[in-house]
Amino acid sequence: MSMNYMFGISVFLLCLVLLNIYFFYNLSTTKPTPLIQSRKAEAMQNVHKEINDHFAHLKKQYKIKTSKFIPVQQALIASLNSTITELENIWNTVDNWVDNESLFPDKNGDPGRILHAIKSSPIALVDNAPKGTQLKLLLILESKQKVLFKPKRYNLTEVIKGPVYAGFDRYNSEVFAYYLGMVLNMRWIAPAVTMRINVENDILPVATLGLKNTMVKNEVGATCIYGKCYYCKINETVCPDNTGVLEGAAILYLEKQFKVHKSPWRRSYSRKKMDWEKDTDFLLVLTALPIWKTSLHDPKDKTYGVLISNDEYQYVKSI
């Protein structure tokens, strides 16, 4: 056998071995992404199925509109639609109605008056509000009342793909949560309302130097803000629309110190995952119940409770 022939055979055998290793590796390693995705899709389908099954077996009382709710609903609509003249006094009472059980009053049209007062009071000062992970501004009204402003990042119809925390926070969920809180009498959501502010007329003249330092002009000369927060980046600005207006959620700032109840639904920022991230049943238990009131915390046995009806508690998970 010539040397050339021997060399050829060796190269051929080597190629065979390499090809074998390649195929073996490809077949034996599971590709993680599609598998995880399909498991997630399956879990979501199960959640929807569980909810639908549960609806079918709900007690009759949950399917009938209670007439007791009609006056509550009418009072709420009237308070939101009324034109309010006397606003000054509302701020004097903030400290009185805020406590650990309730962040807003429910009587005498006050929920609507608060929202009107937030929207119509002149702004005396605007600064960055660096607390939290997302861009937000602190507005100080002429009445000295503080308001947080979380700007709009997306159009309402835009769908953000990815995990639940993908993209920027949606400002409208703050407002939605408050309205839902009013309707369901879950009064532990700070009053929030959609507000439109003109950047040149209402922000710039009263902006602090700190805020001005986190502003840049965009390609059409509009003043945009990138702010100061954990996730704030100079290339991720919010800009006014073509009428110079910045829309966002204006949220009443509450000075009072509250007892902190850590949410079992909070995101883990470390390798230690939260229960809801590891255990799909955790999600199923909570979403499948007709939840009236959540996050009732019993500090003694470290459980979170879900109040199912007016007087019946069910503790769902130890943490």
Summarize as ranges the residues that interact with ligand ATP (CB under 6 A): 131-134, 148, 169, 190, 251-254
103 belongs to an annotated ligand binding site: no
123 belongs to an annotated ligand binding site: no
Nearer to ligand ATP, 8 or 163 (CB): 163
Nearer to ligand ATP, 253 or 313 (CB): 253
58 belongs to an annotated ligand binding site: no
Beta strands (DSSP E) in 189-292 are 192-198, 215-217, 223-225, 245-252
Please report which residue ranges of 57-189 form alpha helices under DSSP H: 69-81, 88-92, 94-97, 110-120, 171-184
Least CB distance to ligand ATP at residue 86 (A): 24
User: What is the number of the residue whose Cβ is closest to ligand ATP?
Assistant: 132
* Amino acid letter for position 98: V
308 belongs to an annotated ligand binding site: no
Beta strands (DSSP E) in the chain are 123-128, 137-141, 146-151, 192-198, 215-217, 223-225, 245-252, 293-298, 303-307, 313-318
* Amino acid letter for position 78: A
Nearer to ligand ATP, 186 or 190 (CB): 190
Nearer to ligand ATP, 118 or 190 (CB): 190
204 belongs to an annotated ligand binding site: no
Which structure tokens are listed for 4?
A: 């050339």
Specify the DSSP class assigned to residue 189: S
Least CB distance to ligand ATP at residue 101 (A): 16
Least CB distance to ligand ATP at residue 249 (A): 10
Q: CB of 288 within 8 A of CB of 300?
A: no
Q: How far is CA 264 from the centre of its chain?
A: 14
Least CB distance to ligand ATP at residue 194 (A): 15
298 belongs to an annotated ligand binding site: no
Least CB distance to ligand ATP at residue 166 (A): 13
- Three-class secondary structure of residue 126 per DSSP: strand
Point out the annotated binding site.
134, 150, 169, 251-254
Point out the annotated binding site for Mn(2+).
169
